[in-house]
Every structure is written in structure tokens, then in C-alpha cells.
Amino acid sequence: MSSHGQNEQQVVWAVVGTDIGPLLLAATGKGLVNVVFHATDAVRDTALGRLADRLGTDPVEAPGSPLLAEAIGQVEAYFAGDRRDFELPLDWSLISGFNRQVLRELATGVPYGAVVGYGDLAKRVGQPGAAQAVGTAMGANPLPVVVPCHRVVESDGGIGGFGGGLETKRRLLALEGVLPEPLF
């Protein structure tokens, strides 16, 4: 295998401090591949083990890596209120099929400061009646925040579920002006 091919297989990671706690960001030569909430040591180690199993290579901590530099900068700018859209190459290899289709639509079709219902998102991908499957796709999202599953809510006005926890979802929606900032 050429050295170029080896670089494409490399997985690098870093933990970034944010207003919602530490986020693990992981990237390959194709782009950002994983974002993990609440990246304490135990959560980080579990996530890195899963990535190694799924991608066939051990992730390497490399916060200064060119593969991560832009992602780190954009995540920091987002939480500072200076960025509304992520413009990053994404590696979709951890998700496929319907889930990938739904997440791609979410990434391109639901802008900052907007929300969409689970059923509405199902309709957008040509699967009316698949609201529950959309919920499953949100739970399987390997790129939360960047692919904004926090913007998917219940049609009756409820906040819905969230893999990062409901308080995290509320804080992300407040950051984007959808919900008021918590008082405490």
C-alpha cells in the first residue's frame, strides 16, 4: 500500500471543550467521521474502541492534525456564536442506507435556527409514515452537532429524544435561538 493509501486509513482524534461539555472529534482522510458527546475518559475510550473496530485501525490522538484543525476551529466558532453552518468534508462510512439518506437531508435541508418534525423529515426523503425510523436515524447519527439532529423535534411541539441528553439538546437549541436560554 502506498503512503497515500495509509494516510487515507488513518483516524485521528481530539477532545474539544465546549459549552455542552467535552466533544470528541475524529477524522479520516475523507473528513470528519465521528463526534461524541460527554467525552470523559471512559466515554472517549469506549468511542475510540468502537471506531477502531468499525474502521479497522487504531485512532491516534492528534489535536494538531490538519485533518482536525478545520473541524476544531469550526466547532469552537459555532459555540462562540460566530458560525451558523459547518463547511467540512464528512466521512459517512459509519452510517448507510435510510439512516444516511435522512442525515444527509438533515445536514443540507434544516438550517441553523430552524427545526423539523420527525414526520416532516420522513416525508422529505420520500418515506411518509417513517417518523419512528427517522428517530432511529437520529439516534444513530455519528456526527451530532455538525449533522444537527438536535434540530429534529416532535410535531406536537415536544423536544423529542436526544443521544446527548435532553439538557444538551435544549442548550443547542437555545444557542441557535430556537429556545430561550435556561435561567440556571
Active site residue 56: no
Q: Tell me the C-alpha distance between 92 and 30, whole Å.
A: 9
Count of all residues that appear for the chain in the document: 184
Give the other-Cβ count within 10 Å of 177's Cβ.
Answer: 12
Which candidate, 57, 62, 159, 141, places its Cα nearest to that of 104? 141
Of 149, 152, 153, 175, the catalytic one is 149
In Å, how far are 34, 36, 40, 41, 92 from 27, measured between CA atoms?
Answer: 7, 12, 19, 19, 11
Please list the residues that pair with 34 across neighbouring strands.
26
70, with CB counted inside 10 A (0-12, 13-18, 19+), is middle
- Indicate which residues carry an active-site annotation: 149
